Amino acid sequence: MSVRQGMQRIGLGASLCLMATTASAGTAMAIETTPREDQPLVEKCHRLAIEHNPDHDLKIKQIYDSNLPDYERGEEFELLVSFLGHGNTFHNVTCHVSPEGEVSYKGHDQGGLPSVGS
């Protein structure tokens, strides 16, 4: 292997490391913006999505973002949760939160953009 090829591999490795670090930081930021007492709503939505899509690998996906900071207790709410997918994809899960705080699954899609956040 030439020195140039070795340098290219090192550069590629550094780029991949930076991308992984950025994705982890995005996940941590999304979790930080979710009020701690409401995080169980996101977790319940995630569990329901796994139950409704048993052949999908949603159980190993990390949360990218959610609109839970907009949730107000005692009101109906459409909960949107985006999970990091493979490559440039996102798994967007939609759940319904009743005024009593009960979570029900509405649907799941995969796309190039998250349903919430940036």
The predicted-structure confidence for 49-58, as pLDDT tens digits, reads as follows 999 988 778 8
Bridge-based pairing of strands 63-66 and 90-97 is: unpaired
Selected residue with higher pLDDT from 114 and 69: 69
Confirm whether 20 is domain-assigned: no
Confirm whether 86 is domain-assigned: yes
| Contact call for residues 101 and 41 (beta carbons, < 8 A) | yes
Confirm whether 26 is domain-assigned: no
Helices (H), the chain: 3-32, 39-52
Confirm whether 45 is domain-assigned: yes
Confirm whether 72 is domain-assigned: yes
pLDDT in tens, 83-104: 888 888 899 999 999 999 999 9
- Give the number of domains in the chain: 1
The count of C-alpha atoms lying within 13 angstroms of the C-alpha of 27, restricted to the half-sphere facing its C-beta, is: 13
Confirm whether 118 is domain-assigned: no
Confirm whether 117 is domain-assigned: no
Confirm whether 22 is domain-assigned: no
pTM above 0.95, yes or no: no
Domain residue limits at 60: 38-111
